[in-house]
Amino acid sequence: MTEPKMFETQQPSQLILGHAKFGLPDTEPDDSRLRARWQREKRRDRLTREDPA
């Protein structure tokens, strides 16, 4: 006997449909950590480009 789960598709469209039943999020995703990382990279680049003399 074969398992029915073995024949289920895991195509992206099926995965998206599975998440769609929960609806759209009420708020935008929090990207504060990503923005902070970009700011640290900018500061680090600025400091490494400065002449130490």
What's the pLDDT at 36? 93
For 9-43, b/e burial (b = at least 16 CB within 10 A) is eeeeeeeeeeeeeeeeeeeeeeeeeeeeeeeeeee
What's the pLDDT at 49? 87
Q: What is the pLDDT along the chain (53 residues), one digit of tens a residue?
A: 556 666 666 666 665 666 555 666 666 777 888 899 999 999 999 999 876 65
